[in-house]
Amino acid sequence: MTETTATKQRDPRVTARPEIPERAAESETERRELRAKKEIDLGVLDGTIERDLGYQVQTILLELVNSQQMNFGQFYEIWLQQLHGLLKELASAPKPPSSPDHHSYLGHLVHRVISHYEDYYRVKSHSACTPQVGVFYIFSAPWLSSLERSLHWVAGWRPTTIFHLLYTETSARFEARLLDFLHGLRTGDLGDLSPSQLSRVSDLQCFTVSEENVITDQLGLWQESACDLVSLSRVDEDDPETQRLLLILKNADDLRLRTMKKVVEILTPQQAVEFLIAAAELQFGVRGWGLDKDQDRENRSS
């Protein structure tokens, strides 16, 4: 018995899988539809199990980070590997969805990706509050490339970047299918946002810009107090100024995650999948380019 088989037999969620009846199909088309439905149903259940196990994995990783058996950079690498696996699933998902099962599967896949981002911010928040890691280490982000750090706003990406990415993807897809639109053909992808969707995105962008500005001002005021930290000759996790910085980081991360979730809520499942693909590809692209540049610089200096 293989390890995988043994694991599945021990897990009651696996043994409780609903059986999809194998009935005689009247045609090859019907047989294909039955197989596709079974794959989607089992895929959704596997995703639920993977989500539950993924939460346990992130909890274990958090304990390792807090106990200094793993630094936050190592956790981030593991998290990125998991994101890369989700990206492959997003890319291979049925687009456009041609059945209610497809729509349900896309919605479930989007939920898993959002949950993965939630896991990251959960571990990041806990790590920033611990003396083993700390908020200053999170801000310095030594696990990232120089390029990634140069693009940071309050120890992470700027929330309004989401809207620039969305508008770029929307414009590119709209231009690529302009003739289809002129002939009244709808694609249902990111290039086919409705007026209502565009209005909601615009309203959300205005709100996010306002929230971003508030947090930027908060960080500016905190930085102005840096001279007080130096004069006190001590900076620890219990210091009021350190707690202020922790709160600023929490507000920034909350805005990042909340903005992504609200944008996804505005989109259809197909559009959300395409948007999350673009977001992940941007993250991997910037990281890859940044690491290459850092390596080139090291090679020239050696």
Domain encompassing residue 290: 3-301
**76 close to 143: Cβ distance less than 8 angstroms:** yes
What DSSP character marks residue 19? Answer: P
Helix axes 161-176, 195-224, angle to 10 degrees: 150
**For residue 49, what pLDDT is reported?**
41
CA gap 213, 202 in Å, rounded: 17
* pLDDT computed for residue 221 by the predictor: 93
Mean pLDDT by groups of 10 residues along the chain of 302 residues: 46 43 49 48 43 56 63 89 95 83 90 95 91 89 96 97 95 73 69 93 98 97 78 64 94 98 96 96 97 92 81
**pLDDT attached to residue 14:** 43
Euclidean distance between CA atoms 67 and 126, whole angstroms: 12
- pLDDT score of 48: 44
> What separation in angstroms does the CA of 20 have from each of 35, 40, 62, 94, 99?
10, 11, 38, 21, 17
Structural domain count, the chain: 1
Check residue 69 and give its pLDDT.
Answer: 59
Closest alpha carbon to 193 in 213, 208, 175, 174: 174
pLDDT at position 97: 76
Instruction: Give me the count of residues in the chain.
Output: 302
Pair of tokens at residue 52: 């539950």
Chain-centre distance for alpha carbon 201: 19
Whole-number pLDDT of residue 99: 81
